[in-house]
Structure 1
Amino acid sequence: MNARHRALAGLLGICLATATHAAPASFTGYGDFYRSLGGTLFPGSGTDMAMPCTDAPRNCVWVTSMGQALRRFDQTLWSGPGDLAMTPPAGVPDVAFDGEALVVGTQRWPLSDAINLAPAPWHDNAPIAAENVAVMTLWHRGSSVCLDIRQVSSGKGDRYTKVVLLHEKRLYVLPPLFGTCAAIREAPHHGFSYPSNTYLGAGMESDPEGLQVDYLLSDGITRVERYRLRFPDHDNPFVFEAMRE
């Protein structure tokens, strides 16, 4: 841990030590819980991206504009959303994600070079097939860009979202368990913190009693806050009570 992180951890430790523990609060979704903590890096709501595909050979890419799709695959025959304009909506950055890299404007950020902060078994920067993604949501603020990538899945797959963050000219992959760009919070010195979530109880994923939410700085080590969530119904981890420790 460098001197800056030690100083920050000490300051946050003092703040936490003097904080008053409130009664548990009830939530019916993680978005509302994360936003209730304050200091979100991406306030407001995200923007759904579209997936046009070339006809032959078939290549797909998630974009905010058809112009980005044409820059990625220089082909004439495409299928996809008919209302996708050549330029992104006002105020939305021109973004593409082809499963191998995030593109913002003309700058390409390979996924293989990302700093991966996810624990095993998700500590993997392997490419993602664009057609295996069900929904992709873009979040942005200033030069920071974030993607919520929900892959096609079944069973407990709705608990996992791949989160890809571009911040201060660095690309990160964040933990997927109940992950979302809406959970990322501001930290001093243009930094950020993010939740690293762990099931509580002997049953873990198959029968979880709750969730431990550790907010870590971008070094992946320094914890700044911890919350404990309790699931009244172990089969529904999206309804819970939360308390700060």
Structure 2
Amino acid sequence: MANWKMNPQSLAEAKRIFEGIKKGIKPEAKKGAEVVICPPFVYLEALSSLVSPKTGIVLGGQDCFWNPPVGGGAYTGEISPLMLKNLGVKYVILGHSERRENLGETNEMVNKKVIAALKQNLKVILCVGEKTRDKDNFFSFIKEELWAGLKNISKISAKNLIVAYEPIWAISAAGGKADQPEDIFEMTIYIRKILFDIFGIRQPAEAYGIPILYGGSVNVRNAKRFLEIEGISGFLVGQASLSPEDFSKIVNLC
């Protein structure tokens, strides 16, 4: 999954990156992995015309608003889940650490967005991640984000849920370094345990039906190593997704 964030600065460049990714993905990779590109909102309509079943690519939004859930209203600057759905968007990223940190999004706000997006049958990528690797509280930090973010979400709705684990201290935009595989493995086990509790899951296979992505400084050099971690279903890629060559190589590994 590619999160372009506030990039690139022109539609022409967005199309160039998109076409480069499309050409770089091998046919066998299209069968084995779902490729999601989340560009800035202003490019969604133009890029939607370039998407077809043959491309193996679908579009995602980087955020959405929660009120009213059916769309419309006096909410300057906001995008509704219905607007995304009507553009053919299939996924939406919610609770990204940059929005939590820079825009003051709370767990309660994220939860409202999750509920609204799921009502429109969008696939939700719920982002969770600790600020620091503090041995005393980083597990409890993740637990709180999951419980609060998934409040009042039914087990049935969970079929459209994806969890992206993105430790804030490891994000490349913040100058971080990728987490260690053993630590990521430990966290995936913990996240699944929390999902067991939240949804009252009794069969392990049900919890494994909720994919977990890793999103801390993933690049073409470390992606293969992370894919070998049991429990990781894919990646939420930031900076590296703006390079068609690098992102295509990451996809082709999956």
TM-score for both structures, normalised by structure 1? 0.29
Higher relative contact order (CA 8 A, sep 6+): 2
| Higher helix residue share | 2
Question: Which protein shows a greater Rg?
Answer: 1
TM-score for both structures, normalised by structure 2? 0.28
| Higher strand residue share | 1
